[in-house]
Amino acid sequence: MYTQALDAPDPDALRAPPADASQLQQRFDARIDAGDFIEAKDWMPEHYRKTLVRQISQHAHSEIVGMLPEGNWISRAPTLKRKAILLAKVQDEGGHGLYLYAAAETLGTSRDQMIDALHSGKAKYSSIFNYPTLTWADVGTIGWLVDGAAIMNQVPLCRCSYAPYARAMIRICREESFHQRQGFESLLTMMQHGTDAQRAMVQDAVDRWWWPSIMMFGPPDDQSPNSAQSMRWGIKRISNDELRQKFIDATVDQAKVLGVTLPDPDLKWNEERGHHDHGTIDWDEFKRVLAGDGPCNRERLAARVKAWDEGAWVREAALAHAAKHAAGADA
Ligand code: FAQ
């Protein structure tokens, strides 16, 4: 098993049905009700463990695949300052993936199993990373909208009932906040000091990324099969639709500051609800992207598989080095 978790629990021990299962279940439910955090070595129901492995590993895959659309622009960043910022951001996303894989490993699943699930198409990653980055403005727009949506979804995960995930999310959210601001600042610079062509490029990027960004929060609550149980367990604290609404409300004012139009003619303030109403989301497009038929699904997965294959010698060397250490051969 290739793993970085130093004390990954024995998966069989976690799965073994305990003798006093109903008592353990009652104690677990009481702890969840009291708002306690669950640690890796605590007893947990199998369905809770599986739900966490699913969500955390998908989240980790999203961070790693999410490096690709922006990584595509590192060699073409317009200035040294923008290049340094983008390099740091893409590196941060890689780090987030690694914390998250380590958090999922504490649940008794190996890195190899998770990577295999991604590469074989069994595991999902965020729909958003299946869209192309066509111009430099896409990089700023990803920071503003995609990282902005990610923060809205991820701040509540800092209070997730599973403590290793919650701890990882605290650091991740601090970094995502920098990512959102650098994206906004990059777009603001183009809008305020750029040429007409640059302003048009920003508007075009916003037109293309808006709808996919609001799909990131997942299907509507009444079509979200996992939400009710995940909310009951304190894994998710706020529902998909509520988070989407909070994101839309926050972003409308930011768009005004930037001087861009959000591509939804039905987007308007509803005094009675105290929120913005929005137009119909194309859930067929979302389903197509999830089914593997988005603009870049094949390209993204192929890039990950290629990187994994070409990195085989590094993993082999690391394992050989660890084995040598364990045998005391280099003492
Ligand atoms: N894309 O019942 P629900 C980032 C799936 S990180 C793909 O509502 P759940 C940082 C869902 O998995 C972005 N699949 O599911 C960055 C489920 O399928 P399954 C990633 C989606 O889990 C920025 C099915 O649909 N963030 O952006 C999506 O309760 C810039 C039914 O859905 C996270 O992963 C989607 N958008 O709620 C990096 C946060 N939405 O698994 C680089 C953690 C739903 O049963 C550059 N995850 N599905 O086969 C979560 O909060 C949740 O998992 C949700 C979905 C909210 C994504």
pLDDT digits (tens, 9 = 90+) for 152-184: 999 999 999 999 999 999 999 999 999 999 999
Q: Say what percent of the chain tops pLDDT 90.
A: 92
pTM above 0.75, yes or no: yes
* Rounded distance between C-alpha atoms, residue 248 and residue 154, angstroms: 16
Angle of helix 46-65 relative to helix 297-310, nearest 10 degrees?
90
pLDDT above 50 for 270: yes
**Does residue 16 or residue 46 have the better pLDDT?**
46
Query: What average pLDDT does the segment 66-90 reach?
Result: 97
Question: CB of 66 closer than 6 A to ligand 1?
Answer: yes
How many angstroms does the Cα of residue 291 sit away from the middle of ligand 1? 14
How many angstroms does the Cα of residue 324 sit away from the middle of ligand 1? 40
- What pLDDT does residue 20 have? 81
Question: CB of 237 closer than 6 A to ligand 1?
Answer: no
Question: CB of 297 closer than 6 A to ligand 1?
Answer: no
pLDDT above 80 for 7: no
- What pLDDT does residue 330 have? 56
Query: What average pLDDT does the segment 19-33 reach?
Result: 91
Confidence grade of residue 6 (pLDDT, cut at 50, 70, 90): very low
pLDDT in tens, 80-96: 999 999 999 999 999 99
pLDDT above 60 for 24: yes
pLDDT above 70 for 5: no
pLDDT above 80 for 74: yes
Closest CA relative to residue 118, chosen from 37, 197, 47, 63: 63
- HSE-CB of 250 using CA atoms within 13 angstroms: 14
Question: Using CA positions, which residue lies closest to atom 40 of ligand 1?
Answer: 218
Is there a contact between 206 and 260 (Cβ–Cβ < 8 Å)? yes
Query: What average pLDDT does the segment 115-142 reach?
Result: 97
* Rounded distance between C-alpha atoms, residue 331 and residue 302, angstroms: 41
Question: Using CA positions, which residue lies closest to atom 32 of ligand 1?
Answer: 224
What does the mean pLDDT of the chain come to?
94
Structure tokens at 72: 């595509």
User: Which one of 124, 141, 221 would you pick to mutate in the ligand 1 pocket, going by the greatest count of ligand atoms within 8 A of its CB?
Assistant: 124
How many angstroms does the Cα of residue 150 sit away from the middle of ligand 1? 10
Confidence grade of residue 139 (pLDDT, cut at 50, 70, 90): very high
Question: Using CA positions, which residue lies closest to atom 48 of ligand 1?
Answer: 218
- HSE-CB of 230 using CA atoms within 13 angstroms: 22
Lowest mean pLDDT among 91-100, 305-314, 320-329: 320-329
pLDDT in tens, 204-227: 999 999 999 999 999 999 999 999
Atom of ligand 1 nearest to the CA of 55: 53
Query: What average pLDDT does the segment 253-270 reach?
Result: 98
Question: CB of 133 closer than 6 A to ligand 1?
Answer: no
* Rounded distance between C-alpha atoms, residue 207 and residue 262, angstroms: 7
